[in-house]
Amino acid sequence: MQEIHQKISNAEELSDRAKLILLMTTFIPCGRYATYAAIREWTALSLPASHIAAPLRKATSGSDLEEIPIHRILEKNGGIGCYGCDWGNHMPGVQDDEREELLKREGIRFDKNGRLLGGGFQFMEVEEMMRGTAVEEYIKLPYRFGGWH
- The domain spans of the chain are 2-146
Position 62 scores a pLDDT of 62
- For 20-51, what is each residue's pLDDT tens digit? 999 999 999 999 999 888 998 888 777 787 88
| Residue 111 buriedness (CB in 10 A; 0-12 / 13-18 / 19+) | exposed
Position 87 scores a pLDDT of 46
Distance between CA 56 and CA 13 in Å, rounded? 13
**2-146 belongs to which CATH class?**
mainly alpha
Q: What is the mean pLDDT of residues 65-83?
A: 77
Distance between CA 62 and CA 2 in Å, rounded? 21
pTM: 0.83
DSSP output for 106-137: TT--B-TTSPBPSPPP-GGGGHHHHTTSHHHH
